[in-house]
Structure formats: C-alpha cells, structure tokens
A and B are shown apart, each in its own frame.
Chain A
Amino acid sequence: MSRTTVTLTNARLIDPETGEETLGGLTLEDGLITARHEGVAEGIDCGGMCLAPGIVDIGVKICEPGERHKESFGSAGAAAAAGGVTTMVTRPDTEPTIDNPETLEFVARRAREASPVRVLPMAALTKGRAGREMTEIGFLMDAGAVAFTDGDHVVSDTKALSRALTYARSRGALLVGHVQEPILSAGAAATSGKFASLRGLPAVSPMAERMGLDRDIALLEMTGARYHVDQITTARALPALERAKRNGLDITAGVSIHHLTLNELDVADYRTFFKVKPPLRSEDDRMAVVQAVASGLIDIICSMHTPQDEESKRLPFEAAASGAVGLQTLLPAAMRLVHSGDLSLPQLWRALSLNPSRRLGLDSGRLSVGAPADLVLFDPDAPFVLDRFKLLSKSRNTPFDEARMQGRVQATWVGGTQVFGDPLGGPQ
C-alpha cells in the first residue's frame, strides 16, 4: 500500500507519554509520524474514535517451526493486525527450540515473508531450554534476538542461571523470566484454595510465585542483569517487586490480560480454555494486580498468546494443555479495565505500548513526531459478542468465546502502511 503522506484527523489521540487524551490528528509520511495537530484539520476523518500507538506484545507464541497447524506467522500476523498489535515479540519455545542463530534467522525470514506486523524474536536463554548451558547470546543478538527466555521452563540450576545472567549483563541482553517455583508448581492445574479443593484439581499455592521472584531478585543483586518478569499474578509477589525496583535493580514486570480480567472461578466446570500458566488466581489477587498496573508497579500487559489445537484442549482439565490465544482479544479485553474505571486509556496504553517499547529499546509506543507510524484506530465503546470461530488465529482457544466485549479495532498501521481495516480515504 501507499507510503505517501496521509493525514488522520478528528481523532481522540491517546498519548501514553504525556498521559493525555486530546482531539487532533497525525500526519504519516515515510513510515513515521511527521506532524501532529490539535483540533480538526484537512484529512481523513477518524470520526472522533481513539487513535493510539500500536500494541507491543511481549511473549507471543507462534508455532513455527514445528507446529504450523496451530499457528503460523501469517495467521498470527493477521490476528495481530486485527487486534491492533503492531509488534509481536515472539517466544522461542517452539519445536525445535530457537536456541541458535540459524534457527533464529529462519524465523526472522518467515516473519518477513508472512507477517503484516513487526516481529521481534526472543531466543532461548539455555540450549534446548534445558536449563544447563547458556545459548550463544552474542551471536543471537547479532541475528536479531531482542531478549532471552526459556519461557515457562524455569532454570532451576541456580549456578547455571547466575552465569547466564552475568554473561547476559556483559552483552547488555534482556532476560525474561518465569518466576513460578518449579517444584512446588509441578503438576498444578489450579491455584490452591476452596475452588481447587472442591473441583479436586491438583493445585499450587500462590506463594510459589513469590518464591521464584525472591530467588531471581537475589540473583539480580548478584549479577546486575537486565530482567523482565513475564507475569506477576499474585498479591503476595508485589511487595518484593516494589522493593527490588526501589533498590534500583534493572527489573520490570508484566502480566497477561487473562490474569487481569478473569479469575479461578471462571474455570467453572473444568473449562479447559481457561487453563493457563500460571493458573488463574483468586479475585483478591486479580484486583491487586490490576491496582499494580494502575500504579505502574507492573509495567507491561501482554496477551501471552499461546495457540493450542482442539485435541490438546479437549481432555480432562489436568491433562489438557495450558495457554490461550490473545492477540485479537487483547485490546477489547483490556478495555474492560477502562470501562470498569480501573485504568485511564493513557494508563492502559502505557502498559500495552509505551513501556514494552522502552523496555526493548524501541522507538515505538509514542505519538510524537519522529516516532514510527505504528498506530491503532479503535472505537472504545463498540459492543460485540465474541465468536471464537471468527478469530484469525489458526487455533481458537480463547476464554472469551461468547463473552460480551466492548472496543473494536477499526484500522491498524505498521510503518505508515494500513494493515487492517477498511481502507481509509487517501491514495491507496
């Protein structure tokens, strides 16, 4: 599509950098935002809808290589574009693991060929995600790895992890950790408490998260590495995170949209689409984590997009696979937090776009002149009932099937090119 000048006007600009909402518009040119104006001007009329920086989603699972029947770069990219996600930061927990530069280059090429949105790959921290030997962090960074993670495999060998963190620090690499204490969490399908007890499900204490976090914080004090926690989901982990930040450690934290909008009771009669990792928490935990996003203690909201086919979900709850798709439902689900009064739109976009961009050293996440023209235009109030069979992902394992939602993406631009929505005026 065109790379010529486009001016969008009469939009509600959601600016996470200033924390303000204003009526105005943007001019896009050569992939960048080149001008910003107040009020209404000549150009494409956005009808007063919200215009915000595109979402940067850290932790997307795309099942290439290995399980393309679950998700490909093409299908995930289409879902992302439809969901206002302009950058997918992908996970290395594929088959085989993305733990060497050659595999990473394959992934990067597939992404370039097939995805309409930006793809930034993460690589494994240890070879085969086995938790023993570190990967070629330097080569992988040269090949384009933006962060290193073993996904939900916790490196339980503390000596191996301390070495990897020390080495990563010397290369300036960002590590993404999963902080659920692995032995206590083994086999758990739910969070311990009344609900899990009545359902007879193997459960883990929410304290497992704090234990894992405490250990990793101690390792950060030792090594000074750059570290992001993939998901903080419990109230008991928050004071430790707060202290670590106050003590000046280079730590940030994320949370999945599912842990912000659902709780353990949603599992009801063993609905396996609600089986995620870590398991859904109590309502008290959910509320505490929402507050932590509002206060900025938790920096980043992600979809933790994890495609699973019907066969791996159509099993008894404890035997079913974990994970939910989220690229396309992240924005409307997150709008629940705005409609409930917990977050303002700029606060929400700070967590969806500005903070993840900053953490990865990207220029995006802003509406300032000179920033990439990665944008999403959405109607914040448009109501709809989600039909999972209309999702663009190859896998449709969403917990929001038949849920009432508000917030519909109208158009998405990546580098000034419209990648989703009905063509909006101007030269196409």
Chain B
Amino acid sequence: MGFRQDHLLGIEQLAPDEIGEILDLADDYVALSRSADKHGDALKGLTQINMFFENSTRTQASFELAGKRLGADVMNMGLEASSIKKGETLVDTAMTLNAMQPDLLVVRHPHSGAVDLLAQKVNCAVLNAGDGRHEHPTQALLDALTIRRKKGRLHRLSIAICGDIAHSRVARSNLILLGKMENRLRLVGPPTLMPAGMAELGCEVFEDMEEGLRDVDVVMMLRLQKERMDGGFIPSEREYYHLFGLDAEKLAHAKPDAIVMHPGPMNRGVEIDGSIADDINRSVIQEQVEMGVAVRMAAMDLLARNLRARRAAA
C-alpha cells in the first residue's frame, strides 16, 4: 500500500496505515535528531517555502528545522492576510510562488479550506500547517507519536480533549486521527465552546471537567483561543479557570498514569495550572515539541518521495 498522498491537507484524507507509516518513519527521525550528526539527505536539492498568513513562531520554526535537517533549501515568507488583501488574492500568490518551482509548500492561513484551495492551483506538495478552525494535521500526528511512545499503543485508549474545541483546528485533527485509530474520545468544555454535532461523530461530550476526566489515559488541553473569539463565549478567564482549568484536583480523576498534553503556547492560570504543566511525571509538553520536528521530517520525506515518483513518471 504505502503512503499515497500528494499533499498533507488534513487527517481526514489519511488511512490508518498511512498514519502508521508516518509515525514509524518519525520514530527513526527522533533517533536521528538525538544523534550527534543530525543530518539526512531525504530532501536534498528540494526547495521548501513556508508561507504563513498567520503569525506563528513555534510551528514555523519546527517546519524550518525539519526541512533543514533533511537537506532542503528553506525559505520563510511571513504574509499577514491583510497585506495580501491589498492586491493579490490567495490564488494569485499561489500562482506566483508556483512559478518559482518550489517542491514543498508549507501553508498556514486564517481561513478554513484555504490550504485545500491553494493545493489545487500548484504542482508541488502542499502541507497544511493550520487552516482556520479546520485542520492542523502535523499537530495531530505529533500528538499521536507522543501518545504512542508514552503509552506503547495508539488504540483502545480513553482520551479527553478539553477546553476551547469550537475554535480549535488542533481538536478537529486530533479527534479525527484518534477516532480513526479506534480510541474512546471525550470532549470536555463549556457548551459555548463546543461545536454542534460532536455527539454524532461518536464523541462523548461533557460539561463537567471532573466527570469528563474520569479514568482517562490522556488529557489533551487546548489553548483558549482569545484571538479567534468574537466576544462573549465565557464570562471571565478566572471563572473559566475555576471550572475548566487543569489543576491537581481535577487531574486526580484521571488514571494515575495519565499523561497531560498541550499544543502550546500555554495560558498558565487560564486553561492549565503552572505546576501541572511543569510536572515532568505528568506533562509531556516538551516531548510534543520534539516529536513535532520528527513528524514534520517524516511527512515531508514521504511527500517528497511521492513527488519525485510523480515527476519521474511524467
């Protein structure tokens, strides 16, 4: 079978065996990244452009490092959507870039579906680094790799995703991925931050944090996306923290060996207590960052293989 994608636009398009293949290769790249000589040549000769229409430090750095470790020529373009609006449409920008013959295009955009649109217009491999409230596939893959390494498996786990699910592309990609791998999913948060129709997707929905965390193996916290809110979803940050912030008391309802995850950047004292975030026995937040580079190396490597095969056939 093998990895069959031309682009990585979302988890939705991936089959379980393809997810497994990315994670297996990412395990190798974790080892490479921990070795003294951190260089591979899987992307040698290829040009990678990171197009970020939305501010990001962490994800952009992670993609940049992943490309450089595998020998790609990496260029970063910071493009706030507003400056694009002055003249060019997204499609114009894509066509212009396409003419520069990139091989890998890493795109983040504030609108859901924008990366899909862009992928239709270019003839290189496109990776979605987050589009609106839609998907953030490499985040879900790095979370999956972290869970698999910590728990020894990626199936039949009870996993709670907590907080601002409505505005979170991380939550969407994660619930699709973890659902595909046959885990038990619980979504926990205030109803104003819970998207419609979640129960129909086979998730259990909780409005009470302690109830939602009962006996789970994994607690995934989400950042309260203040910048995506157009007002009035919660009464205040302190009430939110009181009801939904992860502290030791609430975490005590999870399994004793439950791990705590967060995609970062964290709002300490809003969705998570500092002492939990820094507890090396529970929190795997630093590992997530490390896994991020490895997963992005693996995804770009697999896409580049397919790209080269396509070009050789043409």
Contacts and interface: CB of A to CB of B under 8 A. Distances in A.
A203 B112 contact: no
Interface string B65-89: 0000000000000000000000001
A317 B111 contact: yes
29 contacts: A192-B196, A193-B196, A194-B196, A194-B197, A194-B198, A194-B200, A196-B195, A197-B195, A197-B196, A197-B197, A197-B198, A198-B12, A198-B172, A199-B134, A200-B112, A201-B132, A201-B133, A270-B112, A270-B113, A314-B117, A315-B89, A315-B90, A316-B111, A316-B112, A316-B114, A316-B132, A317-B111, A317-B112, A318-B113
Contacts of B133: 200-201
A285 to B, nearest CB: 14
A113 interface: no
Contact of A319 (B111, B131, B195): B111
Nearest to B168: A200
Contacts, number: 74
Contacts of B172: 197-198, 200
Given A198-B172, A315-B89, 14 more contacts: A197-B172, A197-B196, A197-B198, A200-B113, A200-B131, A201-B112, A201-B132, A201-B134, A269-B113, A270-B112, A270-B113, A314-B89, A316-B90, A316-B117
A19 interface: no
Contacts of B131: 200
Nearest to A318: B111
A200 B230 contact: no
Nearest to A187: B230
A205 B195 CA distance: 11
A318 B197 contact: no
B135 A200 contact: yes
Interface string B156-200: 000000000000010010001000000000000000000111101
Contacts of B273: none
A320 to B, nearest CB: 9
A314 B88 CA distance: 12
Contacts of B113: 199-201, 269-270, 316-318
A414 B116 CA distance: 46
A199 B196 CA distance: 12
Interface of B: 12, 89-91, 109, 111-114, 116-117, 131-135, 169, 172, 176, 195-198, 200-201, 230
Given A314-B91, A316-B90, A318-B132, A270 B116 contact: yes
Given A193-B197, A196-B196, A200-B131, A318 B91 contact: no
Contacts of A198: 12, 172, 176, 197, 201
The 5 closest A-B pairs by CB, nearest first: A194-B197, A270-B113, A200-B133, A200-B134, A316-B111
A46 B79 CA distance: 62
Nearest to A197: B195
Nearest to A192: B196
B228 to A, nearest CB: 10
A193 B160 CA distance: 21
Contacts of A192: 195-197
A187 to B, nearest CB: 7
- Of B113, B117, B198, chain A has the most CB atoms within 10 Å of the CB of B113
A195 interface: yes
Given A200-B133, A200-B135, A318 B112 contact: yes
Contact of A270 (B117, B197, B198, B230): B117
Contacts of A200: 112-113, 131-135, 169, 172
